[in-house]
Amino acid sequence: MDPSNSINPTNPIPGLYIHIPFCLSKCGYCDFYSSTSISALPGFLDALFKEMEMYRPRFQAFDTVYIGGGTPSLLHPEQLERILTGVKENFDLTSTAEITIETNPADLNRPFLESMRQIGINRINIGVQSFDEKMLGFLGRRHSIKQAISAIEASRKAGFRNIGLDLIYGVPEQDVESWLDTLKHAVAFSPEHLSCYQLTLEAKTPLGRRYQEGQFPIPGEELQYEFFMNTSEFLEEAGYIHYEVSNFARGKEYASRHNQKYWDHSPFLGLGPAAHSFQSNRRWWNYRSLDQYVAAINAGNLPVEDTETLTMEQLQLEALYLGLRTRKGVCLQDFKNRYHYDLFTEKKEILAKLEEEGFISLQDGYLYPTQTGFAVADSLSLI
């Protein structure tokens, strides 16, 4: 590749994402690829190990591993251990690698969690979603509040020092007060990380269909804004850094190192059905269907459904979109070096207007969103 087209001049170490495509049941809002045919698990694991081998010549080392899904906590500790052993046999894993697992509270008990720690997993994300039983029922989650509480407590006791809770707001019939109540419950456990996602309903999900049939309303823009602002204010007062639109960390060291790779165009490899990868200016993604994924690998091929090569202009737009979703914003000089575009000069007028309107701030060579700008970050990138 022409080095002048490289967008990773500093050559950061890539991250590894592993998609475990199984769930015991499907949540009504979920658009991620997962199958409830757990009997296909052994065939999937065999294919996953072959996929790792296939990528050995192209990726040497990783400093983050994210085991996501799906529901990785459905696997036995021995299966998870085999996965991490497979990673280490095929690639170098740096000694300080961040190794995260995504879990469902219903699957977590002390022996399982202790096994996770023993095999080297040092960060756990627990899909709590809500501390309101009614909301959990509406979302179709298979765990209760009681299970969520005991999962968090057991994770601490098992030695996890980096616990993240995933929560959802903007659920029909939820008001800001009841959402703040969920947040109060969450911070009482002092998790190191919180991800607060606004509920989005894709048309093809069961809840999306019910919404389209008019069975319930979802919060309009004003209420969404209120949810967002209250979340940010509450969690910052509780000592969390609102470092990305949906993410909060109890100290800089707890910000997700893996997700940061997605936000700053660092390379990453995704293994498993529907997983996406990115390297230099290329993005590729695997078949969504487990059957197609396994069949391709068993035929000796990479299970890649499609690839795209991003133009410098596409990379610029993405970098701006992603950068404005982070508190640290966009470093204008880095942007110029990496994407060959002088934002400050080319967009001078619109930037001045947005600054005057209180959406962005330009300071010390950085362009970053103000609190109001953060709430409308997706629209800001349209500059």
What is the enclosing helix (H) or strand (E) of 243? Answer: strand 241-244
Tell me the closest approach of the beta carbon of residue 256 to ligand SF4, in angstroms: 17
Q: Is 288 in the site for ligand SF4 (CB under 6 A)?
A: no
Q: How far is the CB of 15 from ligand SF4 (least distance, A)?
A: 20
Give yes or no for residue 273 binding ligand SF4 (CB under 6 A): no
Pick the binder of ligand SF4 from 26, 117, 209, 328 (CB under 6 A).
26
Quick check: 69 binds ligand SF4 (CB under 6 A)?
Answer: yes
Distance of closest approach, residue 107 Cβ to ligand SF4, in angstroms: 10
For the record, the structure tokens of 102 come out as 């995504």
SS3 307: strand
Measured CA to CA, the distance from residue 370 to residue 19 in angstroms comes to 34
CB nearer to ligand SF4: give 69 or 369: 69
State in Å, rounded, how far the first CA of the chain is from the last one: 30
Residue nearest to ligand SF4 (CB): 30
Buried b (16+ CB within 10 A) or exposed e, 286-309: bbebbeebbebbeeeeebeeeeee
**What whole-number distance in Å separates Cα of residue 204 and Cα of residue 219?**
19
Alpha helices in the chain (DSSP H): 41-55, 77-90, 110-118, 133-139, 145-157, 176-187, 206-212, 221-237, 257-263, 290-298, 312-323, 332-339, 343-346, 348-356, 371-375, 377-380
Binding ligand SF4 (rule: CB under 6 A), the pick from 13, 30, 176, 218 is 30
Count of H helices and E strands in the chain? Answer: 16, 15
Minimum distance between the CB of residue 19 and ligand SF4, rounded to whole angstroms? 10
- Of 70, 219, 267, 270, the residue at the interface with ligand SF4 (CB under 6 A) is 70
104 is an interface residue for ligand SF4 by CB under 6 A:
yes
Binding region for ligand SF4 (CB under 6 A) out of 65-73, 81-89, 223-231, 365-373: 65-73
Window of 24-32, 168-176, 280-288, 350-358 that interacts with ligand SF4 by CB under 6 A: 24-32
- Residues lying near ligand SF4 in the complex (CB under 6 A): 23, 26-27, 30, 32, 34, 69-71, 104
